[in-house]
Amino acid sequence: MSPMSGEITDNRGRGEAGWHWPSVHPEGRKYALIVAGAALVFALLAWETFAWPLGFLSLCVLAFFRDPQRVTPQGDNLIIAPADGLVTLIRRVDPPRELVLDDGTGAPGLGSAPVTRISIFMSVFDVHINRAPVGGTVRRVVYIPGRFLNADLDKASEENERQHILIERSDGVRIGLTQIAGLIARRIVPFIKPGDILAAGQRVGLIRFGSRVDVYLPEGTEPKVVLGQSVIAGETVLAELGAEPVIEGITH
């Protein structure tokens, strides 16, 4: 997979800007068409009690699978948010064993030492296209079947259906992220495979109907976000490699 392409914009006015309707990912178009078709059938039968709600539901499906353009900050040491949503957990944890153990390919995984995990919870109102936090080569994509607990719970990282992704930068630094299904989410859809080369902010997959994404920061790197902060996939800077700032926020 080739790196993400797009127009260059900067802080000196280069590029173009304008509002437009976001595109809808192909994964969602088929569902919207099915629901819209059912609404049309009920409308033709003059069963408006069913036709109008189904017509509205088809619009909701299109909104859920929206895929807006994003402007990704450029910087050698930046780690970018892989998901839209709310930062609900920041804590030191052991990295997932699937990203640590030898997978037989010869490519190294994450170290076994505890790391900082940032958890981003996506509600049904958030964009559900997930993006690469850094540029590099995909070393692992590991799917794990599991339960469908509330994705906001800490134990969802170990018990829910999930997919681990390991990306290695050109300098050898490895970043892990985990897509986690939730109460309503029932399928994780990958867009990538091992060996693909990604640009920071490139689309890597989606999770249907509410879920969570965990990011595992390298040793010596602290978050540049705080609990309760809303982040935007492909745009918000989660952390900077090697930086350990103390950041405080005030809720209002």
Give a yes or no: residue 32 inside a domain: yes
Q: In what order do the strands lie in the sheet with 129-131?
A: 129-131, 203-207, 188-190
CB 176, CB 99: distance < 8 Å: yes
Q: What is the pLDDT of residue 197?
A: 96
**190 and 159 assigned to the same domain:** yes
**Same structural domain, 154 and 215:** yes
Which of 39, 67, 95 is the last residue before a domain boundary? Answer: 67
- Given a contact cutoff of 8 angstroms between Cβ atoms, the answer to whether 111 and 219 are in contact is yes
Q: CA 49, 53, 54: angle at the middle one, nearest 5?
A: 110
Same domain, 197 and 147: yes
Q: What percent of the chain has pLDDT over 90?
A: 42
Residue with token string 């390298």: 218
Which of 13, 48, 67 terminates a domain? The answer is 67
129 and 60 share one domain = no
Residue 123 annotated in active site: no
* Per-residue pLDDT at 28 exceeds 90: no
Of the pLDDT bands very low, low, confident and very high (cuts 50, 70, 90), residue 3 is: very low
The mean pLDDT of 9-22, rounded to a whole number, is 74
Q: Is residue 206 part of a domain?
A: yes
Domain contains 190: yes
Same domain for 90 and 176? Answer: yes
Is 111 inside any structural domain?
yes
**Are 42 and 107 in the same domain?**
no
What is the C-alpha separation between 219 and 186, in angstroms, rounded? 33
Residue 10 domain-assigned (yes or no): no
11: left (phi over 0), alpha (psi -120 to 50) or beta: alpha
Pair (56, 175) in one structural domain = no
Burial category of 206 from C-beta neighbours within 10 Å (exposed 0-12, middle 13-18, buried 19 and up): buried
Looking up residue 82, the CATH number of its domain turns out to be: 2.70.70
pLDDT of 34 reads 86
Sign of the Cα torsion 34, 25, 127, 186 reads: positive
pLDDT at 128: 87
Tokens 């509410």 found at: 210
What is the residue whose two structure tokens read 């405080």?
248
Confidence band (pLDDT; 50, 70, 90) for 1? very low
User: Using CA atoms, how far apart are residues 30 and 16, in angstroms rounded to an integer?
Assistant: 32
Pair (53, 95) in one structural domain: no
Question: Is residue 167 domain-resident?
Answer: yes
| Residue 206 pLDDT class (50, 70, 90 cuts) | confident
d(CA 31, CA 67): 15
**Which of residues 13, 43, 67 is at a domain's end?**
67
How many domains does the chain contain in total?
2
Domain membership flag for residue 8: no
The 10s digit of each residue's pLDDT in 42-79 is 888 888 888 888 888 888 888 877 888 888 998 889 99
Q: Are strands 136-144 and 162-168 parallel, antiparallel or unpaired?
A: antiparallel
**Choice among 38-47, 169-178, 239-248 with the minimum mean pLDDT:** 239-248
Q: Report d(CA 222, CA 57) in Å as an integer.
A: 41
Report the distance separating Cα 25 and Cα 69, nearest Å: 12
Catalytic residue among 58, 119, 157, 211: 211
Residue 139 sits in the same domain as residue 202: yes
Do 50 and 114 share a domain, yes or no?
A: no
Structure confidence at residue 16 (pLDDT): 75
User: Which residues span the domain enclosing 82?
Assistant: 78-240
Least reliable range by pLDDT among 20-24, 58-62, 105-109, 120-124 = 20-24
Q: Which of 3-7, 30-34, 246-250 has the lowest mean pLDDT?
A: 3-7
Note the residue count of the chain: 252
Is residue 13, in this structure, part of any structural domain at all?
no
Quick one: 210 and 110 in the same domain?
Answer: yes
Percent of the chain with pLDDT over 70: 86
Mean pLDDT, residues 212-232: 93
